[in-house]
């Protein structure tokens, strides 16, 4: 029965290539250590069998069903340290660190399962005795590979290292000059969690780095218990900082500040242990408890990271120093490789199954590796000047906008403030203003039409009065000449009707002459036909003389009064003019008639 599969395809492809998208799964590699001499002596059986390069079969004693697990790579007890180094994919992480990514390799598993051995080889045989090269672990091999790689790069690279351990929930600097003292873990936005005052040592050769490693290993806490003669009692983190020093990049100003660039961190976790199995007492039990607690916090974070709703859920990285320092590797922007270590012994089966399940879950955890930011290039001098000028202009315009009187612009209170805040607001205000003006224009047009109508009626009346005036004048002309126009012909039937309220004689009302009209002469039937054109011109001139102006109707000029005045009043302003003219004409007609009765009018 196969319990878990690798989340994605070919392990070689996954291990040798860079991050391929926003979500990159944690790579998990399994290492099975060989049966120890003590285990063989006790006659313990192996329950683990590798099938192929990626699958591990677990055969429980007593004939239970086999359980299979798949990982990026599975390395059995016969694998050499070099096999592990080549298969685990740490070189890919080294390449990514050189490109500026933050990468982490950590070993995980039960105590005595070979974590420290896998990372740094067997414990030193004595003070100052180096580990034989064939047994050197992933770390020493990576150091050798990396320094060789750096020498063949085109750009100069600066390398730094730090080494710390978390012992009983306290951080101790393994490279400190004096005796290690507890250091605080801090957090900020750019660096995330970091250890304050941690010594970061620059190194330039493999030898110098190996010395730093030896120094840290020798200071690290370890104790002997029944399962491991040199059991690590702390979690250890060795970090390499790789920075490409381009002309634009400056070295860190503060001595405590870490150099910008890629990171490659090796984490050797203290193993989980059953206090009963290890027989730990007193201080050992205290250490075991604190190790187990921090591993439990790590397990809890991984479980939550696997939650599909993880974006909503809070990951309690702050629960332990270990999870704080691994936060970026587990759920952040780092690239992570886990080397799970297990013992093949049937005695360790429960812990082995627990590690295998845990590791299977971890390979479904994804991170979002962040591409390194290109170094900040200083803008050329002229661009900088231009930028400064634009900033000044911007400030000036802003201050002008701030000084604008909202009342003067026709806006008020909050609306004005809003309109000033953005151009969109100003545009809205203009649109509203336009709408208002459009309405006003429409009102003015309707009042003008109204005035035109009134003007037309009045002009008609004026014309009639002029006709009547001319008729009256004509009648007063003495001596021989053409017959005057007959009033009953000149005055339209409507006016006859209007002016003659009482109809004298038997004439139909419409044909009757006005009361003031003289009686028609006997030859008046054909008088209109005989009238000459020059006489008509003469009468028009006379009318104009009387009115002192042209009698053609025209549109009244629009008043220059306030815009908000009533349109009716405005349109009606033309009416008094016409009414006055009408009144004047009436007076003139009356005067002419009176004069006509007493004396002949002047020619």
363 is an interface residue for Mg ion by CB under 5 A: no
Shortest distance, CB of residue 70 to ligand ADP, whole angstroms? Answer: 21
Which of 271, 445, 298 has the alpha carbon at shortest distance from 352? 271
467 is an interface residue for ligand ADP by CB under 6 A: no
d(CA 141, CA 465) in angstroms, rounded, equals: 124
Could you tell me which residues are beta bridge partners of residue 243? 158
CB 521 within 8 A of CB 483: yes
Q: Binding-site residue total for ligand ADP (CB under 6 A)?
A: 18
From residue 177 to residue 216, what is the string marking binding to Mg ion with x (rule CB under 5 A)?
----------------------------------------
d(CA 106, CA 339) in angstroms, rounded, equals: 6
Size of the chain, expressed as the number of residues it contains: 603
d(CA 180, CA 586) in angstroms, rounded, equals: 123
From residue 503 to residue 532, what is the string marking binding to ligand ADP with x (rule CB under 6 A)?
------------------------------
- Applying CB under 6 A, which of residues 24, 27, 102, 116 lies at the interface with ligand ADP? 116
d(CA 240, CA 162) in angstroms, rounded, equals: 7
CB nearer to ligand ADP: pick between 14 and 232? 232
Shortest distance, CB of residue 159 to Mg ion, whole angstroms? Answer: 26
From residue 229 to residue 268, what is the string marking binding to ligand ADP with x (rule CB under 6 A)?
-xxx------------------------------------
- Applying CB under 6 A, which of residues 117, 143, 163, 241 lies at the interface with ligand ADP? 117
CB nearer to Mg ion: pick between 116 and 142? 116
Stretch that binds ligand ADP, among 33-41, 274-282, 461-469, 595-603 (CB under 6 A): 33-41
Q: Is 111 exposed, middle or buried (0-12, 13-18, 19+ CB in 10 A)?
A: buried
Question: Where do the H-state alpha helices sit in 332-380?
Answer: 349-362
355 is an interface residue for ligand ADP by CB under 6 A: no
Stretch that binds ligand ADP, among 210-218, 227-235, 283-291, 402-410 (CB under 6 A): 227-235
CB nearer to Mg ion: pick between 220 and 531? 220
Which of 91, 57, 92, 54 has the alpha carbon at shortest distance from 73? 54
Shortest distance, CB of residue 246 to ligand ADP, whole angstroms? Answer: 40
| DSSP-assigned letters across all residues of 33-68 | PPPPHHHHHTTPPB-EEEETTTEEEE--TTTPPPEE
Question: Where do the H-state alpha helices sit in 89-155?
Answer: 90-98, 115-120, 138-151
Shortest distance, CB of residue 36 to ligand ADP, whole angstroms? Answer: 6
CB nearer to ligand ADP: pick between 340 and 543? 340
34 is an interface residue for ligand ADP by CB under 6 A: yes
Shortest distance, CB of residue 336 to Mg ion, whole angstroms? Answer: 19
Task: Report which DSSP code applies to 510.
Answer: G
Residue 341 binding: pick among ligand ADP, Mg ion, none (C-beta 5-8 Å cut-off by kind): ligand ADP
232 is an interface residue for Mg ion by CB under 5 A: yes
- Applying CB under 5 A, which of residues 102, 110, 113, 116 lies at the interface with Mg ion? 116
CB nearer to ligand ADP: pick between 174 and 486? 174
What sign has the CA pseudo-torsion 392, 396, 397, 398?
A: positive
Question: Would you report the helix, strand and coil content of the chain in percent, each value rounded to 5?
Answer: 45, 15, 35
C-alpha R_g of the chain: 55
5 is an interface residue for ligand ADP by CB under 6 A: no
Shortest distance, CB of residue 280 to Mg ion, whole angstroms? Answer: 15
Farthest CA pair distance, the chain: 168
483 is an interface residue for ligand ADP by CB under 6 A: no
Antiparallel, parallel or unpaired: β 157-167 and 235-244: antiparallel
d(CA 385, CA 151) in angstroms, rounded, equals: 41
111 is an interface residue for ligand ADP by CB under 6 A: yes
CB nearer to ligand ADP: pick between 206 and 230? 230
112 is an interface residue for ligand ADP by CB under 6 A: yes
Q: Is 268 helix (H, G, I), strand (E, B) or coil?
A: strand
Nearby residues of 172 by Cβ (< 8 Å), 6 or more positions away: 164, 165, 166, 180, 181, 182, 183, 234
Q: Is 287 helix (H, G, I), strand (E, B) or coil?
A: helix
278 is an interface residue for Mg ion by CB under 5 A: no
Shortest distance, CB of residue 236 to ligand ADP, whole angstroms? Answer: 10
**Contacts to ligand ADP by CB under 6 A:** 33-34, 36, 109, 111-117, 122, 228, 230-232, 271, 341
**Contacts to Mg ion by CB under 5 A:** 115-116, 232
């Amino acid at each position: 029965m196969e319990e878990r599969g690798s989340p994605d395809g070919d392990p070689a492809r996954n291990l040798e290539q860079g991050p391929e998208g926003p979500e990159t799964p944690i790579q998990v590699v399994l290492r099975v250590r060989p049966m120890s001499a003590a285990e063989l002596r006790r006659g313990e059986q192996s329950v683990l069998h590798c099938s192929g390069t990626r699958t591990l079969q677990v055969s429980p004693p007593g004939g239970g069903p086999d359980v299979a697990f798949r990982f990026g790579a599975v390395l059995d007890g016969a694998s050499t340290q070099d096999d592990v180094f080549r298969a685990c994919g740490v070189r890919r992480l080294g390449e990514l660190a050189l490109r500026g990514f933050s990468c982490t390799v950590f070993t995980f598993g039960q105590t005595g399962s070979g974590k420290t051995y896998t990372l740094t080889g067997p414990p030193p045989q004595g003070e100052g005795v180096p580990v034989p090269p064939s047994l050197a672990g992933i770390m020493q091999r990576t150091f050798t590979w990396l320094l060789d790689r750096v020498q063949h790069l085109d750009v100069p690279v600066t390398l730094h290292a730090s080494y710390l351990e978390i012992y009983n929930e306290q951080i101790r600097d393994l490279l400190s000059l004096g005796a290690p003292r507890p250091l605080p873990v801090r957090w900020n936005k750019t660096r995330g969690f970091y250890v304050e005052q941690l010594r970061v040592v620059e190194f330039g050769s493999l030898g110098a780095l190996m010395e730093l490693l030896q120094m840290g290993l020798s200071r690290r806490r370890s104790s002997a218990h029944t399962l491991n003669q040199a059991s690590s009692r702390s979690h250890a983190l060795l970090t390499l900082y790789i920075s490409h020093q381009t002309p634009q990049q400056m070295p860190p100003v503060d001595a405590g500040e870490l150099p910008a660039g890629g990171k490659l961190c090796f984490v050797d976790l203290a193993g989980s242990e059953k206090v009963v199995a290890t027989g730990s007492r007193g201080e050992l039990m205290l250490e075991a408890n604190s190790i187990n607690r921090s591993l439990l916090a790590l397990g809890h974070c991984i479980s939550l990271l696997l939650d599909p709703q993880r974006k909503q859920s809070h990951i309690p990285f702050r629960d332990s120093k270990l999870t704080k320092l691994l936060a970026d590797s587990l759920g952040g922007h780092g690239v992570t490789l886990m080397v799970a270590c297990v013992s093949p012994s049937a005695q360790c089966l429960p812990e082995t199954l627990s590690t295998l399940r845990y590791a299977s879950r971890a390979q479904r955890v994804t991170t979002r590796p962040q591409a390194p930011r290109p170094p900040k290039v200083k803008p050329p001098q002229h661009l900088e000047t231009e930028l400064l000028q634009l900033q000044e202009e911007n400030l000036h315009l802003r201050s002008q906008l701030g000084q604008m009187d909202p009342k003067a612009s026709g806006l008020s209170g909050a609306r004005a403030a809003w309109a000033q805040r953005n151009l969109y607001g100003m545009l809205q205000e203009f649109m509203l203003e336009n709408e208002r003006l459009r309405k006003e224009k429409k009102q003015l047009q309707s009042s003008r039409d109204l005035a035109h109508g009134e003007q037309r009626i009045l002009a008609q009346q004026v014309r009639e009065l002029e006709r009547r005036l001319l008729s009256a004048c004509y009648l007063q002309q003495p001596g021989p000449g053409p017959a005057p126009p007959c009033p009953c012909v000149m005055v339209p039937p409507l006016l006859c009707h209007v002016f003659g309220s009482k109809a004298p004689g038997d004439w139909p009302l419409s044909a009757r002459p006005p009361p003031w009209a003289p009686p028609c002469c006997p030859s008046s039937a054909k008088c209109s036909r005989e009238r000459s054109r020059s006489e008509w011109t003469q009468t028009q001139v006379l009318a104009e003389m009387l009115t002192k102006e042209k009698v053609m109707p025209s549109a009244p000029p629009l008043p220059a009064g306030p815009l908000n005045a009533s349109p009716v009043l405005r349109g009606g302003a033309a009416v008094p003019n016409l009414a006055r003219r009408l009144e004047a004409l009436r007076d003139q007609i009356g005067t002419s008639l009176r004069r006509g009765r007493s004396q002949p009018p002047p020619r």
